[in-house]
Amino acid sequence: MDFSSKLLENAVHEMAQLPGIGKRTALRLVLHLLRQPEEQTTHLAKALVDLKTEVKFCKNCHNISDFDLCEICANPNREKSLVCVVEDIRDVMAIENTSQYRGLYHVLGGKISPMDGVGPNQLNITTLIDKVKREEVTEIIFALSSTMEGDTTNFYIYKQLEDYKITTSTIARGIGVGDELEYADEVTLGRSILNRVPFENSLKS
Ligand SMILES: [Zn+2]
């Protein structure tokens, strides 16, 4: 792509770093911003910088939060002994949208994936085991997508918890194998949490 301006080229180059944005789309977005009032770009840039510099991660569940404890963990009406293990914040949002779950979450920050160089140490697993050790938890619900990486991660955590007296369950598979949680409709996802099954059962099938 030949640019008539270095400023334009830089902006397009930065925009094209985003996932799913090719050079052509980046150019379209940049030209769009150029046509808008200056405040719009200023607000966009400020929101992104503020997000990056001020965002916190909940010290209990690793959810993205404006405070040390996220709104879910700080809510006295949530059942603190029930912990739903999810891959990332999008899963928390999807499950919260169902209004069917009253426990807490634990955000792993990914799935074990040797192909991508992600091992257990890169994920928030130790803090989950610590919660179990402190006897704060009576049931862990695995709600990772049922991909090979999801299953590997579930099984790894399950083995770590073997010596502790807790219930482990997995969300019922109204959700198809390989489906990501965030794409499941609210009714299906809500039901699959309410109708969760003992984790051991998922190993036999
Ligand atoms: Zn939290």
**Which pair of tokens denotes residue 22?**
């090719």
Token pair 């390989």: residue: 178
Please state, in angstroms and rounded to a whole number, the distance separating the CA atoms of residues 156 and 189: 24
User: In this structure, how many other beta carbons lie within 10 angstroms of the beta carbon of residue 77?
Assistant: 5
Q: Is residue 1 part of a domain?
A: no
Token pair 């807790």: residue: 166
CA of 187 to the centre of ligand 1 (A): 24
Cβ–Cβ < 8 Å for 70, 60: yes
Nearest CA-CA partner of 144 in 81, 76, 95: 95
Q: Which residue has the higher pLDDT, 204 or 49?
A: 49
Please state, in angstroms and rounded to a whole number, the distance separating the CA atoms of residues 33 and 52: 21
Model pLDDT, residue 147: 84
Sign of the CA dihedral with 119 first, then 166, 170, and 124 last: negative
Q: At what angle do helices 6-15 and 23-35 cross, to 10 degrees?
A: 120
| Domain membership of residue 94 as a residue range | 60-204
CA of 107 to the centre of ligand 1 (A): 9
Structural domains in the chain (count): 2
Nearest CA-CA partner of 125 in 155, 169, 170: 155
Bridge pairing between strands 103-107 and 139-142: unpaired
Query: What is the DSSP track for 55-116?
Result: -EE-TTT--EESSSS-HHHH-TTSEEEEEEEESSHHHHHHHHHHT---EEEEE-SS--BGGG
Q: What is the CA radius of gyration of the chain?
A: 21
Same domain, 27 and 91: no
Same domain, 136 and 192: yes
| pTM exceeds 0.85 | no
CATH of the domain at 28: 1.10.8.420
Alpha carbon of residue 25 to chain centroid: 27
Model pLDDT, residue 182: 62
Same domain, 21 and 107: no
CA of 70 to the centre of ligand 1 (A): 4
CA of 27 to the centre of ligand 1 (A): 38
Please state, in angstroms and rounded to a whole number, the distance separating the CA atoms of residues 199 and 186: 22
With 60 as the cut, is the pLDDT of residue 205 above it? Answer: no
Task: Tell me which range, 82-91, 174-183, 196-205, is most confidently predicted by mean pLDDT.
Answer: 82-91
CA of 95 to the centre of ligand 1 (A): 14
CA of 75 to the centre of ligand 1 (A): 9
Same domain, 126 and 50: no
- The mean pLDDT value for 69-81 works out to 96
- Encode pLDDT of 114-138 as tens digits: 888 999 999 999 999 999 999 889 9
CA of 147 to the centre of ligand 1 (A): 25
CA of 136 to the centre of ligand 1 (A): 14
Q: Is 109 left (phi over 0), alpha (psi -120 to 50) or beta?
A: left
Same domain, 95 and 160: yes
CATH of the domain at 118: 3.40.1360.10
Q: Is residue 25 part of a domain?
A: yes
Residue percentage of the chain with pLDDT more than 90: 70
CA of 59 to the centre of ligand 1 (A): 7
